[in-house]
Amino acid sequence: MKIESLEIRETETIQIKSSDDILKLTDDLKNKKQEHFVTITLDGAHNVIQRRIVFIGTLNKSIVHPREIFAGAISDRAADIILVHNHPSGSLKPSPEDINSTERLVKAGEILEIKILDHVIVSRKGYYSFLENGLIN
């Protein structure tokens, strides 16, 4: 498993204000042939600290573990985190596993006091936001 990260230069400030801002940072995922699970860590003003590819899965599955998701957020001293993964099939509908793992990660974030602001699924057909669809508060 290869973990990649995108370091944001200190002179560059990217602030997340909407789903469009998230999509700009993850546009490269929509045509990937395997599932990629990405975290975007944010400071208290929702400025991007770092974008990390945490998992690369199979054609239709990525194993998500809270320890791996929050390791970077803790080292970044992040206030918030955004989760993003792609669906190579093109489907935008979250799977039962997507919903269950998101609920687990939200609970883990509550314990760590690192709020998950959104979980976004991207594909060549568009995107699905858990926040916009009421699955995350």
Alpha carbons 14 and 47: distance in angstroms, whole number: 5
Please count the residues of the chain: 137
The predicted pLDDT at position 2 comes to: 44
pLDDT band for position 64 (cuts 50, 70, 90): confident
Alpha carbons 30 and 52: distance in angstroms, whole number: 16
The predicted pLDDT at position 3 comes to: 45
User: 22 vs 1, 58, 107, 112, CA distance in Å?
Assistant: 24, 23, 22, 23
The predicted pLDDT at position 65 comes to: 86
Give the pTM: 0.88
Q: At residue 47, does pLDDT exceed 80?
A: yes
Give 66 or 64, the one with higher predicted confidence. Answer: 66
What's the rounded mean pLDDT across residues 70-90? 97
pLDDT band for position 4 (cuts 50, 70, 90): low
pLDDT over 70 percentage in the chain? 88
Residue-range domains of the chain with CATH:
4-129 (3.40.140.10)
DSSP state of 28: G
Per-residue pLDDT tens digits for 106-121: 999 999 999 999 999 9
